Amino acid sequence: MKKPTVVVALGGNALLRRGEPLEADIQRKNIATAAKTIALIAQEYNVVLVHGNGPQVGLLALQNSAYTKVSPYPLDVLGAESQGMIGYMLIQELKNLMPSRNVTALLTQVQVDPKDPAFANPTKFIGPVYEEAEARTLAEEKHWVVKADGKFFRRVVPSPLPQRIVEGDAIETLIAQGHLIICTGGGGIPVTWDGQSLTGIEAVIDKDMSAAYLAKQIKADALLILTDADAVYLDWGKPTQRPLRITSPDELAGVKFDAGSMGPKVEASCEFVKATGGMVGIGSLEDGLAILKGEAGTNIVATRTVNA
């Protein structure tokens, strides 16, 4: 029987937990843990894996700016570098767990609109966290925009909406051939299209938005967003907070979530469900397969038949 296809969006916490040093060995250890969950899912699904890159692309930008004899590389180039680095680590760990399975990382470009309002209002967190005073100093020195991220501050950059996965046909071909595919890393390399040529642009696309768009484009059966929360919560951070177990886009309409964390995930999820009728699961990395089975996390479906 043909396996269903799931697009799995792997949150940055699976690669580097908040507050951890940006060390390669630490990322390898975290990725080895994430790979075990992905390998379990791959037993029952065709997996298309999308990963975040916020800490990594921010580190590359810092390293890049430290060498002053050349102009800093733009964010689209750094995004491509992060796709290669993270893709390599994921391939290695997944192949160690599934030596007979084809695992392929695909450098992926994502078309965006150069007139997207996001370019005037940066919201995408990248790089490490800072105390407020240090963040303000760096912002002045490096001409950054910084915003609060919990009790810390981080650099923010434009995060335009995806319009097209340029390598979409190649991804579908690899799915048909049974590959576990790592693609659209960090939301994809942001590019513009003028009808004749592709051109990179300074931005970092939200990986959950790109994962949902990719899932629609390849007609996936499900979208799974793995994050550092075990479910979607109402009244998060308040004494009345409570998890949603099963819900629908209609029920979520008008509910406000944090724009810097759960908001984009819920928005992307609802768009996928409304466009395809497929299911979205949101929850913690450790619960990956259980979320898809409706046994953990939050499920977002077209029509809810079970009380949340």
Sign of CA dihedral 4, 299, 39, 275: positive
Among the listed residues 11, 12, 281, 288, the single catalytic one is 12
Asked if 192 and 201 count as a contact pair (C-beta separation under 8 A), the reply is: yes
Amino acid at 287: D
| CB-count burial class (<10 Å; 0-12, 13-18, 19+) for 239 | exposed
CA–CA distance, 170 with 265 (Å, rounded to integer): 26
Annotated catalytic residue 238: no
Total H helices, total E strands in the chain: 9, 17
CA atoms within 13 A on the CB side of 238: 9
Annotated catalytic residue 12: yes
Q: At what angle do helices 54-66 and 75-97 cross, to 10 degrees?
A: 130
Among the listed residues 207, 216, 283, 299, the single catalytic one is 207
Task: Outline where DSSP puts E strands in 86-186.
Answer: 103-106, 109-111, 124-130, 145-149, 152-157, 164-165, 180-183
Annotated catalytic residue 297: no
Asked if 224 and 7 count as a contact pair (C-beta separation under 8 A), the reply is: yes
Among the listed residues 11, 13, 87, 216, the single catalytic one is 13
Give every CB contact of residue 38 below 8 A, 6+ residues apart in sequence.
8, 10, 47, 49, 94, 180, 288
Report the candidate in 186, 217, 223 with the shortest Cα–Cα distance to residue 109. 186
Annotated catalytic residue 299: no
Among the listed residues 11, 53, 124, 185, the single catalytic one is 124
Residue in the structure block whose two tokens are 């430290």 = 66
Among the listed residues 79, 265, 288, 297, the single catalytic one is 265
CA–CA distance, 15 with 235 (Å, rounded to integer): 28
Annotated catalytic residue 121: no
Distance, CA of 266 to chain centre: 13
CA–CA distance, 243 with 232 (Å, rounded to integer): 6
DSSP designation for 14:
G
Q: What positions carry a catalytic annotation?
A: 12-13, 124, 207, 265
